[in-house]
Homo-oligomer: A and B are copies of this chain.
Amino acid sequence: MNAEIIAIGSELLLGQIANTNGQFISKQLADQGINVYHHSVVGDNKQRLISTIQIAEERSDLLIFTGGLGPTKDDLTKETIAEHLGLPLIENKEAMDFIEGYYEKIQQPMSENNRRQALVFEGAAVLPNNNGMAPGIALQKENKIYILLPGPPKEMKPMFTDFAIPYIQQLRGEEVELILSRVLRFYGIGESTLETKLMDLIEGQTNPTIAPLAGIFEVTLRLTAKCDIEEQGERMIDELEKEIFDRVGQFFYGYDDTTLSYETFDMLQEKELTVSCAESLTGGFFGHELTKQPGAGQVLQGGIICYQNEIKMNQLKIPEKVLDEDGAVSELCAELMAENVRELFKSDYGISFTGVAGPDEMEGKPPGTVYIGIASPQETKVYPLKLAGDRNAVRTRTVNYGLFYLLKQLVG
């Protein structure tokens, strides 16, 4: 079964809102194992809507419409589809009672155009709207399924999961099969390198499948298995994951919707360890990332934002000689910053960031030159990096690498 999602509304074509309904429905359908091959967006215009429906009927089995079910003049989805399919519109008693009850409750007169919202196709299934007035409609005609949903996400989403999905499942009967998926998140490896290392798996695998996706400064792989029972699917994904980890496991940091800052925070908390930061290049960005997590007080001991050499000397006791001879952007300075902030704040770990964010070079070093120091109870390690991108990219990548290296040290 192939699905197409058709969003109707001029606000989408004017760029006032993004088609997040299309995203939501796509995700839900993917979980059901239904392929979505097309999204279409069209305005509140009868001719263009009819032509869009005709195109969709040519190429898709399941047509899901969002928007244009409201009471105003430019809401014409229902009337247009009714005309196109040659179906009469009749008033739905439950929907009309609900609308009238609503106006009684707020003690306001009901304007006549609200009646239009209670109209449904004769013979169609009515999808109740528990979060607004216009009900949804579902029907099957000539081997095509048509589902009409309201536009506002808070009405559309629960209606889709609670009523549209069961409607579709029922029509599909025995077609339903279990779909499991798992997202693996990687840091410090580019999309093309990751894909090259896994090319044979990506091309050879049909179940589970591997879909790479470049995120902002990271790469993810989605593994999706079709199966009859859950244990079987989990085992198939586990096996594939093992093969992937053998090749690129050193870049893996977490599953599904997690973030680097959450994983690092979580590992510190689990091991009851604390960290302090000395931030030159990053100016507080690392501390900010860790304090996004509730309970940050248990892991972040404190930090020094030391953009100036004066602060590096006075607060962090970096010898003037080091700043003069090696420079603030140097392996030695990163090492001392990490060690001294660890000592100053009496934390288990100390992490330091120094480098050139750009756009200009500093101490004769080009933008992207970065040193991250991590002082642990056992030793101090410095990670030198050459990072690409503008000022924002260099600073963001630096903090992410800091979180990643710290996480890798904690995991051991």
Given A193-B111, A386-B106: A13 touches B26 (CB 8 Å cut-off): yes
* Cα–Cα, bound, A279→B284 (Å): 9
Instruction: Report chain B residues within 8 Å CB of A360.
Output: 294
Instruction: Report chain B residues within 8 Å CB of A7.
Output: 39
Please state if B388 and A106 are interface contacts (CB–CB under 8 Å). yes
Which chain B residue has the least Cβ–Cβ distance from A388?
B106
* Cα–Cα, bound, A24→B14 (Å): 9
Please state if A107 and B386 are interface contacts (CB–CB under 8 Å). yes
Total copies of this chain within the assembly? 2
Given A152-B214, A192-B71, A395-B291: A14 touches B41 (CB 8 Å cut-off): no
Which secondary structure characterizes the binding site on chain A?
mixed
Please state if B23 and A18 are interface contacts (CB–CB under 8 Å). yes
Q: Does A282 contact B (CB under 8 A)?
A: yes
* Cα–Cα, bound, A193→B114 (Å): 10
Chain A: residues with Cβ within 8 Å of the partner, total of 106
Q: Which 3 A-B pairs have the closest CB atoms?
A: A284-B284, A283-B291, A284-B287
Q: Does A301 contact B (CB under 8 A)?
A: yes
Please state if A283 and B307 are interface contacts (CB–CB under 8 Å). no
- List A residues 292-342 near B (Cβ within 8 Å): 292, 294, 296-297, 300-308, 310-311, 315
Min CB gap A301→B, angstroms? 6
Q: Does A80 contact B (CB under 8 A)?
A: no
Contact mask for chain A residues 1-30; partner B; CB cutoff 8 A; 1 contact, 0 none: 000000100111111111110111111111
Min CB gap A117→B, angstroms? 9
Please state if A288 and B291 are interface contacts (CB–CB under 8 Å). no
Please state if B106 and A387 are interface contacts (CB–CB under 8 Å). yes
Please state if A113 and B38 are interface contacts (CB–CB under 8 Å). no
Min CB gap A85→B, angstroms? 21
Instruction: Report chain B residues within 8 Å CB of A42.
Output: 37-38
Q: Does A290 contact B (CB under 8 A)?
A: yes
Which chain B residue has the least Cβ–Cβ distance from A286?
B284
Given A40-B38, A311-B345: A16 touches B213 (CB 8 Å cut-off): yes
Min CB gap A358→B, angstroms? 7
Q: Does A235 contact B (CB under 8 A)?
A: no
Please state if B287 and A283 are interface contacts (CB–CB under 8 Å). yes
Q: Does A127 contact B (CB under 8 A)?
A: no
Instruction: Report chain B residues within 8 Å CB of A390.
Output: 131
Which chain B residue has the least Cβ–Cβ distance from A116?
B192
Please state if A213 and B11 are interface contacts (CB–CB under 8 Å). yes
Given A18-B22, A72-B212: A39 touches B39 (CB 8 Å cut-off): yes
